[in-house]
Structure 1
């Protein structure tokens, strides 16, 4: 329950009380300052509290934006201010010091150091008229603007992909409104999207042409629901800790489950084994995302954060058609899923994976090259926070951490990381399965990984270190499973990489939420990237090919159980951030 304290003398004919109740507030009237202080004192400390001027004239959606957004400790619009329980004491002090006028209370909160969010209202009206004439003018302006149309329009992401903007959002926003009016939550729509994608994966796994066609159609419908859940969250401001976790992880779960369904379907259709391609597509897509995450975290709060390359990018953005071309080149989720759905329905899983891998590889080259150029031409100074975020993304285990305390690298961090990564990947792919050389290469990789993180990652290209580690670990698992050349090895490797990738995505979204990386015990328990790589090479050398497949399966299950248990514990706890991450452009 939330409480709104309406201060000042009531205005005849005002709909303010009804509007506040429609937004879920328990309304209390406080004609003078003493009444306001007394009303504030009776509100339980665990409730959201709003102080609203009785003379307020404005749209309901303006009140919704200013008073009900759960992402901000304090927020304000002209004539109204609201705080969460975390800022309640600051509100009490502000009312005592400045009285009960909302605008003065908001200024007092800011002066005392409380961040007060002021939403962009655009055409929406929010005012406290001083006389009957200005009140009449405000009401005329109120009647001239359809706040529902604005609410519907702003439910769509400001920056989105071409496919989503022109093929999905024109109707998915209405689906979001339909869901809101029937009391459905974004989390329920997100879950429906996941279930639809899993059914699509099941259809693909049948290996029949009708199954492939149904899979493509269902995958597109899953994407429609995926867009709808975010639009529903923005439409109704239903942001939550659990929603942040679901939204952040289900997209990857849906896509990678669909890859597995396609791989099974290929086997059932004509015995075609495309598990290596499925795993390769997952590795490539995950590494692309890590490049994005690392670059963004490295430059999140860097000073002097400009470059000629960025200036050129901004100049290109001023030319309308180049914006869409550049967004399509990177093959965002909307274009990618549409491509997968069409190819699934019309071709074979092998063709689907090859086209996907080539497209994602070209997109990865384009984005990575652009970010490298930006980094080289940018005279930025990275902060300790950015260096810590990169260290957390590196996912260094106890071996690398111990060695990093006693050794220092004479080479730049990305170079030494790449040397070890290339060594272990090349040896795993070029030597016979079961030999000792991958173990030697993995031991070298442990040393180079430690050297790469032995200093704070503040160098120009140090954001490349986490992607190099991800590619090294994932590709080593893939190549060893492929070299085993036994039934079950590649599916088991797919499961292991999926479990580890989930851990890495979970790390990213914790950092984005401002809560830091997963606990140290979790990283130690699952070995860190260098520890897992060494273990997989040891298992490949010590076990038979059949036992190797079984061992990979056991590792996959163990990592998944530990990581999921801790992730679920965190994201449903009160300590998780109430955020709504926009994720990659759809």
Structure 2
């Protein structure tokens, strides 16, 4: 439970009003989840003692100014940040001394800020040593920022909060609080403030009704997630049937499944029932549902005699997985740049793109803003496109549209993000367990990596390019299957990506290494399938299980979930490449891909179930 501290008091108020306000804050802090509320009074040195107490207990410490008038719901939001990060209460203010950068609070020059601090900050256990260093400073929050704290912003938005100095201000602030329907506001706040176009207008406009109903029924966010999975699976089965009524039903079910996919997050935010495992489950379910739908569309198109549907599904899953890897690591890179900024390249293209992007992001609701949100092809737009085209045309058309738009989005985001990352001049992959997120196995960890070569991205891209060239050669007939020598050479070039595994991955573009490694491995799976005439559904199944494994790695990082067990992990991408190539060269590519699918999928399921039983929650 969170430990709360009332810092200072409203000394300018009448003593009766000041005491009443303090009592109201204590009540609100208890309602926010604080098991214990300490009054700091005139002894700021006691804050260090309380900080150490919270740190030793592994608890958050919520520090609240004694002159704050705020809805209890805001303090609860502050105290229950889902990522377990430090967060501060702020209000929009063009003349503020803070800047909100992608949800992170950074100091700003006077008059150049976008938000203003409102006197309440909740510190995560990991940041309490920073508080210990500056606990005696009267300008506590500014001191924390100077010491390196980068808190998450908790904006006031639809609720009310203000610091008061006079009885008149106190009366006005209380009247403003009373004029707001707090529960209704909290329900609207559960909807993401900036979401995608389709989600904003076709889902979030009415999904809060479903969210409130789910809360009244006592459903957990994870229960809603499972209902969403069920609808997506039934939708995929309907697409497999491929009749016009079935395709229409599949499109409707897919849309309803996406509504529930939004509701589970809204329900978690509305009820403040978060869990690292629940966040992990939501991410994994999203990807599994989407890729199951791809399979249903392909199987349905094949069922009615439409060729090339499975190759399109294979391309779609490969493309989306590689894209998502770049999304994950670019987001991590951007957060690293915000937390530890370096001087950007003056006048460079990347710096100008960053400025333009930030300007467009600030123009919420404008045509440019929505175009920027749509062109990257987020999940809402993908599911809407699939549903509409499947209902009107067929599964092959829907898959072809997903591939075409996905390629456009990949080219757009890849080019712009690469230019922006060059201007940021920071690395991110070196800040985590690099070998784990590369998915290196023993061959790379203990043998190939000993070469210690530099340029990890160049080697990873070389392997992916070699595998892609082989796939194109087999598809165009330039090489005739089985083309075993070419497959062996491509596999060796893919494995060469292990030679710089021990080099520092701190280059401005090294955040692309995981995506390039995934591309190399997945393209080799496709090449081996073409070389050995493997049935496309088997190729797709292996790619599906590999995608789950790699999403598992990134989702655990993003959601703060435990690292999990290592059963099945030691084989690594390098071991899978060796086994796959050996099976293909032996003329048993189908058996090899099926075997790897069973091993990869089985180890993923075993680890997930074991972790669920050991530490999962139904939230």
* TM-score (normalised: structure 1): 0.80
Deviations 1:556-582 (CA, angstroms, capped at 9, x unpaired): 1111111232244446655x9x9x9xx
Aligned to 1:152: 187
Distance 1:294 1:85, change over 3 A: closer
Aligned pairs for 1:322-337 within 5 A: 322-337=368-383
Is the deviation greater in 348-357 or in 335-344?
348-357
3-state SS of paired residue (2:451): coil
Aligned pairs for 1:228-239 within 5 A: 228-239=263-274
Is the deviation greater in 144-153 or in 353-362?
144-153
Is 1:185 aligned to residue 220 of structure 2?
Answer: yes
Aligned to 2:503: 455
> Structure 1 residue 399: deviation in Å?
2.0
Aligned to 1:565: 606
Distance 1:515 1:304, change over 3 A: farther
Quote the RMSD (CA, aligned, Å). 4.4
Is 1:275 aligned to residue 325 of structure 2?
Answer: no
Q: Distance in 1 between matches of 2:37 and 2:504?
A: 54
Is the deviation greater in 456-465 or in 118-127?
118-127
Is 1:419 aligned to residue 465 of structure 2?
Answer: no
> Which of 189, 210, 214 in structure 1 is aligned with 2:249?
214
Is the deviation greater in 13-22 or in 400-409?
13-22
CA contact (8 A) 1:297 1:390 kept: no
Q: Distance in 2 between matches of 1:472 and 1:223?
A: 31
Distance 1:313 1:115, change over 3 A: closer
> Which of 403, 416, 419 in structure 2 is aligned with 1:373?
419
Q: Distance in 2 between matches of 1:505 and 1:32?
A: 49
> Which of 432, 435, 440 in structure 2 is aligned with 1:396?
440
Is 1:59 aligned to residue 98 of structure 2?
Answer: no
> Which of 282, 294, 310 in structure 1 is aligned with 2:354?
310
> Structure 1 residue 213: deviation in Å?
0.8
Q: Distance in 1 between matches of 2:533 and 2:447?
A: 35
Q: Distance in 2 between matches of 1:31 and 1:301?
A: 34
> Structure 1 residue 189: deviation in Å?
1.4
3-state SS of paired residue (1:159): coil
Unaligned runs of 5+ in 2: 10-17, 90-117, 345-349
3-state SS of paired residue (1:307): helix
Deviations 1:89-116 (CA, angstroms, capped at 9, x unpaired): 999x99xx99xxxx99999999999988
Q: Distance in 1 between matches of 2:38 and 2:393?
A: 66
> Which of 547, 550, 556 in structure 2 is aligned with 1:501?
547
Question: How many residues align structurally?
Answer: 561
CA contact (8 A) 2:482 2:531 kept: no
Q: Distance in 2 between matches of 1:443 and 1:23?
A: 56
> Structure 1 residue 22: deviation in Å?
6.2
CA contact (8 A) 1:424 1:441 kept: no
3-state SS of paired residue (2:192): coil
> Structure 1 residue 372: deviation in Å?
2.6
Is 1:528 aligned to residue 540 of structure 2?
Answer: no
Distance 1:447 1:114, change over 3 A: closer
> Structure 1 residue 51: deviation in Å?
8.4
Aligned pairs for 1:118-157 within 5 A: 119-122=154-157, 124-126=159-161, 133-157=168-192
Distance 1:515 1:385, change over 3 A: farther
Q: Distance in 2 between matches of 1:20 and 1:73?
A: 18
Q: Distance in 2 between matches of 1:79 and 1:464?
A: 40
Deviations 1:140-183 (CA, angstroms, capped at 9, x unpaired): 22223443453233222222211111221111123223323333
Aligned to 1:445: 493
Is the deviation greater in 430-439 or in 108-117?
108-117
Q: Distance in 2 between matches of 1:178 and 1:115?
A: 36
Aligned to 2:523: 475
CA contact (8 A) 1:57 1:126 kept: yes
Q: Distance in 2 between matches of 1:116 and 1:473?
A: 38
Q: Distance in 2 between matches of 1:357 and 1:363?
A: 10
Q: Distance in 1 between matches of 2:561 and 2:302?
A: 43
> Structure 1 residue 442: deviation in Å?
4.5
Unaligned runs of 5+ in 1: 581-586
* TM-score (normalised: structure 2): 0.76
Distance 1:286 1:21, change over 3 A: same
Distance 1:440 1:241, change over 3 A: same
3-state SS of paired residue (1:119): strand
